[in-house]
Amino acid sequence: MYHHHTQEEKQAAIDLYVTGGHSPITVKRTLGYPDASTLSRWYRDYLQRGYVRGPEKWSGKFTEEQERIAVEHYLSTGKNGSKAARELGYPSRTLLSQWIDELAPGQRKTAKPHKRFSDEERIEVLLDSVAAPTVKQVIEGHDIDKVTFYN
């Protein structure tokens, strides 16, 4: 999990960076944080602003309208969270799941619970698959996943 450094931690790193001859290695060895690129970013920010900013708080960068559009897109395109996030360019699947649960409770597609099938049940499914015109009808009739059917 990512640690958001406090304003004091960032200032200590910058102070050590300056007094240590601008050596990111000295800062990392002494404090154990941050990496060179992060320290460089903090230092540039410090030079521009004159102070060190504390941890950023996420302000909810998506509007309610964007959330609604994402949920509608998810529901209208087969309930595929990865596909919806990729096509819209936002949000993550996790965030999209939260929005779906808020704006369309009970509409999010979730994994079916794992079930063990007996040999008799497997034979019944296979016999039905011979008689049924499509695999979709078989898997819907027995309430199983397509992957389970083919396995």
From residue 103, give the alpha-carbon distance in Å to each of 69, 77, 95, 113: 11, 16, 12, 24
pLDDT given at position 23: 93
Cα atoms found within 13 Å of the Cα of residue 117, Cβ hemisphere only: 15
Strand boundaries in the chain, DSSP class E: none
pLDDT given at position 1: 43
pLDDT given at position 81: 80
pLDDT given at position 84: 80
User: CA torsion 116→120→126→130, rounded to 10°?
Assistant: -150
For the whole prediction, is pTM greater than 0.85?
Answer: no
50 contact partners, CB below 8 Å, separation of at least 6:
none
Q: Which of 106, 145, 112 is nearest to 97 (CA)?
A: 106
pLDDT given at position 15: 94
pLDDT given at position 26: 92
Q: Which of 141, 136, 144 is nearest to 112 (CA)?
A: 144
| Helical residues (DSSP H) of 50-132, grouped into ranges | 64-76, 81-88, 93-103, 119-131
Q: Which of 83, 109, 101, 82 is nearest to 93 (CA)?
A: 82
- Counting as low any pLDDT under 50, the low residues of the chain are 1, 58
